[in-house]
Structure 1
Amino acid sequence: MNTRFLKQHKPDNLMRGCVLLCLFFSFYIISAKAQDSNRDTLISEIEQIKKSENFSNKDTLYINNLLALAKEYRYHNLDSLWILGKKSLDLSKKAKFINGEINSYHALGGYYSDKGKIDQAIEYFTKAYNLANSHESHFLKARTLNDLAKEYGYKGEYSNALKWYLATIEIAEQHDFKNIISIVNDNIAHLYLEQKDYEQAMVFLQKSKSIHEEIGNPVFLAETLSNIASTYADMNELDYAMYNINISIATFEKERILEWLAYCYEIKGKIYLKKNKNTWALYWYKQSELLHQEIEDDRGKIDLLNGMTEAYLNLENDSIAEVYATDAFDLSKKIGLRSGIKNSTHKLSKIFKNKKDFEKSLWYHEIYQATYESLSATNNEKALNMLKTRVAYDQQKQQLILDNEKALAEQKIYIYVFIVILFIFAIITFLIHRNEQEQKKLNLELRNKKTDLEEKQAYLNELNQTKNKLFSIIGHDLRGPIGAFQGLLKLFKEGEMTKDEFLNFVPKLKVDIDTISFTLNNLLSWGQTQMNGSITKHSVTNLDCIVEENIALLSEIAEAKSISLVNRIEPNCQIWSDPNQIDIIIRNLLSNALKFTPNNGQIVIGAIQKIKTCEIYVKDNGMGMTEDIISKLFEKDSNHTTYGTNNEKGTGLGLSLCKEMVEKNNGKIWVHSALGKGSSFYFTIPRLQKQYKESA
């Protein structure tokens, strides 16, 4: 690819946000890898050629690959460009390979040009041109003449530059080298831009654009569009500038051409600078600066540094502006770029004036003035006026500009209409989506409310069943004994029963009152569990004490039936539980055992201490139970009750209450029984572990 003039004419960029920066780094890495891949492919091909049996370093394919590799290293590794250029030149001379020799001189000229050694670059480009001219290599001659003219332009010798550009156009038009014609038109436009004659520059750029649209190469078109964007920016036609540079950036990002992409980022920074959006300008300048770390393009970097200087000056950050301006000045002196010296010294003069360092400000201003006058010399202006006369006959070029601008304006209208339609569609889509989300949300709320209502209804039904059961128990199991007691008292009070007769009923009354008390305790405990009002409070519990208390409480009932109560629980057997709930469990199990054990029977209560739990059992040699009865014992809603050996009656609450309280204390309960052989009830409770003792 032939590099165009506006490698000279750039700025740089900062700020868009972390997401864009991450995307840029991704592209940056991929681009570098892509170019490394091209070089690796060429190196691999060179190695394969060298390994072939008939290899000769005079092989033209081998030399062409060396030159292609040298071209890949330009803007990336100038030292490698120099080494490969020298090697291909020596081999081409030995092989008498003229095209190789011409291209080698051209590669070395490019090396010196990028190093800023313009005289040496002119020397090598001249050798390439003379050799191409003597051997009628028209394409190479035209390409070399263009680069030779460009070097004179870098020196500020616009007359010589124009002379060689016109000669290049003449050769290219004769042989229909359309791409070279477009490149030269770009470069001639640069001469006008240096004189700030933007309209005349745009004539040549639009001609170049038309040629590339005809050729259909998107990369070449993007190069010209980037130059057009820069020119529009200088003309303060910033919307046109932004439109063209965005197209160029998209192409170069897709093709991963770093040197042109760095230039385009700089132009975009310049556009934002013209808009006085200095933060955005610095964002894009910084993007270009990052790419310049990957490429070697000092000439392109100078305008970048000057652009960054101006942005920081606008932000009143003179200290950073001074750093960039000094770098631009030093780099311009290094490569002898007078336009760069002019721009950087003008800014440095302003910076030092702001710092009240008038001596340095004056020194830089004098350098600026001398450089400006030399660039604006009369002979350069006359040469450009002669070119105006040469192209005056082609009035249709002006019409082309108007047509293009009109087409662009129409295109923008279509774009705006499309954006409006797209925006309306997006709003409609958003509203539909939002309505769907609202509908889903409402449906979810309805489902949740339905679930809540169903749960509350189930809970109310359960409470209602609990209430009915309580009333049933109170009505049938408590009203009878209380009614009998009231009847006795009434008979005694009214004198229908003597004192002795009443005293004969006292033992029976005591049994009834104990039964009522026991039943009420169970009712209260069970009611609390059903109403979610029972709270389990774990603590260190001495099991032996609870058992002894309940044996003492039930001893009269046991004595009445001549039943022996045997306590086999070891003293100081401690468990981690709610002592009140354990008390209720033991009392119910002992009460049941007494109820279903015949006279002269035996009830044994004991505990087996395991590693983590204590297994407590209550065994009797009473009536026993069938499997059908056992399966219903611990059911929560079971009302199953049977009469004891002496027709004792219960509420049917005891065992379901025991199960609930055992589980609240992290244990489980079960029973082994056989009809006529007695029953054994077991339940487990966590033992008092070491950590519980320490915390206690």
Structure 2
Amino acid sequence: MVIFLIFTFNSLSAQSSKRDTLLSEIEEIKKSSNFSSKDTLYIHNLIALAYEYRFHNLDSLYTLSQKSLALSKKAKYTNGEISSYHSMGGYYSDKGKIDQAILYFNKAYNLAKKHENHFLKVRTLNDLAKEYGYKGEYALSLKWYLAAIEIAEKHDFKNSISIINDNIAHLYLEQKDYEHAMLFFKKSKAIHEEIGNPVYMAETMSNMASTYADMKELDYAMYNINSSIAIFEKEKILEWLAYSYEIKGKIYLKKNKNTWAMYWYKQSELLHKEIEDDRGKIDLLNGMTEAYLNLKKDSIAEVYALNAFNLSKKIGLRSGIKNSSHQLFKIYKNKNEYEKSLWYHEIYQVTYESLSVAGNEKSLNMLKTRMEYDQQKQQLIIDNEKALAKQNVYIYVFVIILIIFAVIVFIIHRNEQEQKKLNLELRSKKTDLEENQAYLNELNQTKNKLFSIIGHDLRGPIGAFQGLLKLFKEGEMTKDEFLNFVPKLKVDIDTISFTLNNLLSWGQTQMNGSITRHSITNLDCIVEENIALLSEIAEAKSITLINRIEPNCQIWSDPNQIDIIIRNLLSNALKFTPNNGQIIIGAIQKIKTCEIYVKDNGLGMSEEIIGKLFEKDSNHTTYGTNDEKGTGLGLSLCKEMVEKNNGKIWVHSALGRGSSFYFTIPRIQKQYKVSA
């Protein structure tokens, strides 16, 4: 049996560290002087924290989901309301209350549909299908999966498509149709290879390993599960690691190596003590039952089989009831307790037949037919393209003849129009000359501004450096006296270097020489490099730099321009933050954009200064808390580069309360999921 996949937040790190980080951020937001429970960032963090408690503390998941739902309604935060309904559905699903889970997933779906949030529509449809699969209503389950995959394909949600493919494969496995199940797994794997997400790849490979084990292809099964375990152990994803250990035990069980099977089952059992995943635990208990039976330890096998049966009844998992009742039938038959054996056999038979009703098989056959039809249609398209290619040769020849004829006609017509064109050109010369004059004036102003900044901001430190060298060279200053000036000289040289970089970047943008080259950019790497670069300045003022950028936070931008933006904003914050202050840099990942912020508790600004900050021709310069000086180009340069990267920049500030700079950049789209 494979694990169904769902969408969720933050699946790539250890859960406990994420919970601690989210709790810390929530407390910090609540301590803010202008805190409001309607703050969407606060609600977003509550929802994310609720998801982190899934598989670990369902009561906390329920409490936080109720709270975020109430606050989202009060704040009219639609996405928060949808996500809260979704997490409530997850709570009831894990409790085995399938009908209540369906109720909440339906609420989430209807709200997402009303507000045209296509990603959340796909996520909730997938979970609705999953719940109907748990009930054994495969026809209805398939209906929702197909609806979800249609939306996902229309909007190119690749991660969503891969998840749904995995879950459709599960429906085939329930009918023992391993061939078509494997086709869907391979589709999902191909998408993961394209995206390059190792954790999602490991999730699919672990499900493939379980399927290969059922197909008796044990070498393939072992390769896939070992690859998955390596990734889950590295990332500390406990629920998937427990599942992978259980599958490895299953593979050894198929090899009749019961001692090794029991070893890996025990490893999985230890992890299940740290997580709340009753569905996964049922498969583990049934596997351990079979291993103990093979080891002739029927009494222990009976305990595990009864636990599996009772847990399956508790959460209404009919496939678990089917498997455990079959094991109990064999156990009591071995013990000559025929009445109990017959009773469990009847339960097994009824459950098995209910999971194999004709309507479900018909729906799956319809899907199989659809796949075959799609393959035939694709082949027909290829054949048609070959036939059209031959016809195109004749068409190309005819087109070339037409082009030659058109060229001849054009030349004749051009000669007739030449005189008129010359007259029009003469009339436009005056306009062109005026435009060129305006452009040259603008370039001249740029040049004057560059020379002004060079003369004003660079000549002073360089002149001071020359003076010190002259005094030292002529013996009017001792070596020790000269060395005492070295720290100050280093600061001046760093300032000159930073100023020159800004001047060059600004000059390029003003003279149309700066080209924006978008690519996948790791924001956390750029921030770490700039924090390291500016750490000495921060230490000199005893300023704490706090980085809240999540690992692997990826955006679509020019990395060099983002580097300049981050460095200018951090440098400005250091400049205007007093000794022993604090600067926070973080990012809020939204559906299409990443909102990056740099917050300080420094001097702050008046409304008048804020109005001049981002003006293109502004050269406004203010001295920092330790008399640090800049060119005044930094923020106008930031604005230009943010806009070149399809983003926006703004600031919130007040005198004496610090400043918070925000800018948005398009993000790399991701989908999130773990086992249900």
With the shorter chain as reference, the TM-score category is 0.5 to 0.7
Q: Give the 3 Å change call, closer, same or farther, for CA 171–37 of structure 1 in structure 2.
A: same
Per the alignment, residue 284 of structure 2 pairs with 304
| Alignment partner of 1:224 out of 204, 215, 218 | 204
**2:276 partner SS:** coil
Per the alignment, residue 389 of structure 1 pairs with 369
Per the alignment, residue 96 of structure 2 pairs with 116
- CA-CA distance at 1:123 after TM superposition: 0.4
Per the alignment, residue 323 of structure 1 pairs with 303
- CA-CA distance at 1:394 after TM superposition: 4.5
5+ residue gaps, structure 2, are 6-10, 380-676
Alignment of 1:539-688 (within 5 A): none
Q: Contact 1:145/1:168 (CA < 8 Å) preserved in 2? A: yes
| Alignment partner of 1:204 out of 184, 197, 200 | 184
Aligned counterparts of 1:284 and 1:96: Cα–Cα separation in 2: 49
Per the alignment, residue 331 of structure 2 pairs with 351
Which letter maps to 2:300? I
Q: Give the 3 Å change call, closer, same or farther, for CA 397–348 of structure 1 in structure 2.
A: farther
- CA-CA distance at 1:7 after TM superposition: 2.7
Aligned counterparts of 2:374 and 2:303: Cα–Cα separation in 1: 47
Please list the CA deviations of residues 442-475 of structure 1 after superposition, one character each: whole Å capped at 9, or x if unmatched. Answer: xxxxxxxxxxxxxxxxxxxxxxxxxxxxxxxxxx
- CA-CA distance at 1:398 after TM superposition: 13
Aligned counterparts of 1:209 and 1:398: Cα–Cα separation in 2: 21
Per the alignment, residue 612 of structure 1 pairs with none
Please list the CA deviations of residues 319-348 of structure 1 after superposition, one character each: whole Å capped at 9, or x if unmatched. Answer: 010000000000000000000000000000
Please list the CA deviations of residues 624-660 of structure 1 after superposition, one character each: whole Å capped at 9, or x if unmatched. Answer: xxxxxxxxxxxxxxxxxxxxxxxxxxxxxxxxxxxxx
Aligned counterparts of 1:272 and 1:98: Cα–Cα separation in 2: 49
Q: Contact 1:8/1:299 (CA < 8 Å) preserved in 2? A: no
Which letter maps to 2:16? D
Q: Contact 2:14/2:235 (CA < 8 Å) preserved in 1? A: no
Aligned counterparts of 1:64 and 1:302: Cα–Cα separation in 2: 33
Aligned: 1:81 with 2:61: yes
Aligned: 1:261 with 2:241: yes
Q: Give the 3 Å change call, closer, same or farther, for CA 131–398 of structure 1 in structure 2.
A: same
Q: Contact 1:203/1:397 (CA < 8 Å) preserved in 2? A: no
- CA-CA distance at 1:304 after TM superposition: 0.6
Which letter maps to 2:173? L
Greater gyration radius:
1
- CA-CA distance at 1:81 after TM superposition: 0.1
Per the alignment, residue 6 of structure 1 pairs with 2
Aligned: 1:214 with 2:210: no
**1:6 partner SS:** coil
Aligned counterparts of 1:301 and 1:103: Cα–Cα separation in 2: 27
Say how many residue pairs are matched: 374
Aligned counterparts of 2:12 and 2:324: Cα–Cα separation in 1: 31
Alignment of 1:177-196 (within 5 A): 177-196=157-176
Aligned counterparts of 2:196 and 2:376: Cα–Cα separation in 1: 22
Alignment of 1:499-578 (within 5 A): none
Aligned counterparts of 1:397 and 1:304: Cα–Cα separation in 2: 43
**1:74 partner SS:** coil
With structure 2 as the length reference, what TM-score do the two structures score? 0.54
Aligned counterparts of 1:314 and 1:194: Cα–Cα separation in 2: 25
Please list the CA deviations of residues 398-445 of structure 1 after superposition, one character each: whole Å capped at 9, or x if unmatched. Answer: 99xxxxxxxxxxxxxxxxxxxxxxxxxxxxxxxxxxxxxxxxxxxxxx
- CA-CA distance at 1:33 after TM superposition: 11
- CA-CA distance at 1:393 after TM superposition: 3.3
**1:232 partner SS:** helix
Aligned: 1:94 with 2:74: yes
Aligned counterparts of 2:323 and 2:284: Cα–Cα separation in 1: 11
Alignment of 1:396-411 (within 5 A): none
**2:216 partner SS:** coil
- CA-CA distance at 1:34 after TM superposition: 4.0
Which letter maps to 2:217? E
Aligned: 1:175 with 2:171: no
Aligned: 1:141 with 2:121: yes
Aligned counterparts of 1:242 and 1:6: Cα–Cα separation in 2: 15
Superposition RMSD on alpha carbons, in Å? 2.0
Aligned counterparts of 1:196 and 1:6: Cα–Cα separation in 2: 12
Q: Contact 1:309/1:321 (CA < 8 Å) preserved in 2? A: yes
Q: Give the 3 Å change call, closer, same or farther, for CA 156–342 of structure 1 in structure 2.
A: same
- CA-CA distance at 1:60 after TM superposition: 0.4
Aligned: 1:160 with 2:137: no
Please list the CA deviations of residues 97-146 of structure 1 after superposition, one character each: whole Å capped at 9, or x if unmatched. Answer: 00000000000000000000000000000000000000001000100100
| Alignment partner of 2:218 out of 229, 232, 238 | 238
**2:209 partner SS:** helix
- CA-CA distance at 1:390 after TM superposition: 1.0
**1:176 partner SS:** coil
- CA-CA distance at 1:395 after TM superposition: 4.1
Aligned counterparts of 2:333 and 2:213: Cα–Cα separation in 1: 28
Q: Contact 1:109/1:121 (CA < 8 Å) preserved in 2? A: yes
Q: Give the 3 Å change call, closer, same or farther, for CA 182–397 of structure 1 in structure 2.
A: farther
5+ residue gaps, structure 1, are 10-30, 400-696
Which letter maps to 2:250? K
Please list the CA deviations of residues 587-620 of structure 1 after superposition, one character each: whole Å capped at 9, or x if unmatched. Answer: xxxxxxxxxxxxxxxxxxxxxxxxxxxxxxxxxx
Which letter maps to 1:7? I
Percent of residue pairs identical = 80
- CA-CA distance at 1:6 after TM superposition: 2.8
